[in-house]
Amino acid sequence: MTKRILVFSASAGAGHVRAAEALEAAFRTAAPDAVVRHHDALQSTSSVFRRLYADAYLEMVNRTPEVLGWLYDRLDEPWKNEKLRQAFERLNTRRLVKLMHEFEPDAIVCTHFLPGSLVSWLKSKEKIETKLAIVVTDFDVHAMWLSANADRYFVAIDETRAHLSAIGIAPERITVSGIPIDPKFAAAADARTTRLHLGLDPDRTTILVSAGGFGVGPVEHLVTALCRLEHRAQVVVICGRNEELRERLRAVVAKAAPRNVRVDLVGFTREMDAFMSAADLLVGKPGGLTTSEALAKGLAVVIVNPIPGQEERNSDHLLEQGAAIRANNLPAIGWKIDRLLADPGRLAAMRARSRALGRPDAARTVAENVLSMIGA
């Protein structure tokens, strides 16, 4: 009998969706005959609920991150708020429930806690019969991810498995898989050759900046500071679809008139894996997906402005493992990177630690485990 797999994400930040896309591809590869569907759970909720979950979250990230950090810590009490949260979500997710009943999945895989919580409640009331897998998309696990009726948790690191086990989840229900990323990040590529392919200088130390996570203002200060590097380097700034940002940064670079640094401002690209292959360092915010991609490529990470809560905890893990440094003050970031570039042995050690932490096959690991759960 053909197996049916439903992958749920939620577009509250791009990482949950990217992880789900990686899983969708992995399921199609591992089980070509299965029916696999990826759905953004927020698209099946009311517009008010969608704004609360997605827009309000992004507003807090950009304007009041300290409030977000306070909420993150305040709500991180295992099992305490599960029933209240589920009751609130059930009022706003009727279309999502209808979709599940119509699709009749053998397994539901969630890369966000919203659909995971809802499926868990439906299972508890015997309103749906399916295997439920929760794929945590940060290195740490927050109480919001906990679902009493989850059949399997997939987590990034051994410490998170120990955490879940300590709060009562049976060890056999926890798999350390890593965070699912696109398989192309697992492909080995020569840095020099890739730089030539991208039109970059093949002989310069290459610093990659993902600008999308920064608010207005900080990214200009960041690029200004990088223009002042004393080492001969090239800085590649990925601006995405934000042409206004790209134009502002052109003016910043022109004003800074860098002597030792070449700056390339890149718009939307489908070659992020290639840019990471070309780079030595990634400068940015430590989201779970971007960090996992960087680790798969063996990049040293320079952490800037982590969001209080999950990104702070991701930062702690990277720093503890020796794969990252953190710049708390943007005006000093150039000095801090110059110090790192002046010590090639330290940079090489950081890259080796990064590569050792990477789990580029995480999506395949999750897919194969879920398929074995449903006898596929």
Whichever domain contains 117, its CATH number is 3.40.50.2000
Would you say 238 and 207 are in contact if contact means Cβ atoms under 8 Å apart? no
Looking at the 3D structure of the chain, how many domains does it have? 2
- Give the pLDDT score at 66: 77
195 and 295 assigned to the same domain: yes
Domain of 296 in residue numbering reads as 184-357
177 and 156 assigned to the same domain: yes
Average pLDDT over residues 216-229: 86
211 and 324 assigned to the same domain: yes
- The separation between CA 66 and the C-alpha centre of its own chain, rounded to angstroms, equals 20
177 and 29 assigned to the same domain: yes
177 and 305 assigned to the same domain: no
237 and 171 assigned to the same domain: no
- Give the pLDDT score at 216: 44
Backbone angles phi, psi at 349, to 5 degrees: -65, -40
36 and 125 assigned to the same domain: yes
- Give the pLDDT score at 205: 97
Which one is predicted more confidently, 200 or 63?
A: 200
- Give the pLDDT score at 44: 81
Average pLDDT over residues 272-296: 95
159 and 211 assigned to the same domain: no
pLDDT tens track for 197-214: 999 999 999 999 987 655
- 333: helix, strand or coil: helix
E strand intervals along the chain: 4-9, 35-40, 107-110, 131-135, 152-155, 174-176, 205-210, 233-240, 261-267, 281-284, 300-304, 324-327
Q: For residue 265, what are the β-bridge partners?
A: 237
132 and 175 assigned to the same domain: yes
- Give the pLDDT score at 96: 84
| Average pLDDT of every residue of the chain | 89
- Give the pLDDT score at 74: 79
Would you say 207 and 231 are in contact if contact means Cβ atoms under 8 Å apart? no
User: Where on the phi/psi map is residue 146: left (φ > 0), alpha (ψ -120 to 50), or beta?
Assistant: beta
- Give the pLDDT score at 14: 78
Q: Is 306 exposed, middle or buried (0-12, 13-18, 19+ CB in 10 A)?
A: buried
Half-sphere exposure in the Cβ direction for 353 (13 Å, CA): 17
- Give the pLDDT score at 83: 59
Q: Pick the range with the lowest mean pLDDT from 72-76, 135-139, 270-274, 362-366.
A: 72-76
115 and 21 assigned to the same domain: yes
Average pLDDT over residues 340-360: 97
pLDDT tens track for 233-261: 999 999 988 888 899 999 999 999 999 99
Q: Pick the range with the lowest mean pLDDT from 67-71, 93-97, 314-318.
A: 67-71
- Give the pLDDT score at 31: 95
| Whether residue 59 has pLDDT greater than 70 | no
Average pLDDT over residues 279-307: 94
195 and 215 assigned to the same domain: yes
- Give the pLDDT score at 215: 46
Q: What band does 60 get if pLDDT is binned at 50, 70 and 90?
A: low
In single-letter form, the type of residue at position 278 comes to A
Which one is predicted more confidently, 376 or 353?
A: 353
Q: What band does 218 get if pLDDT is binned at 50, 70 and 90?
A: confident
- Give the pLDDT score at 98: 87
| Whether residue 93 has pLDDT greater than 90 | no
Dihedral over alpha carbons 142, 147, 151, 155 (to 10 degrees): -10
240 and 365 assigned to the same domain: no
Average pLDDT over residues 2-24: 91
Instruction: Report the greatest alpha carbon distance in the chain.
Output: 67
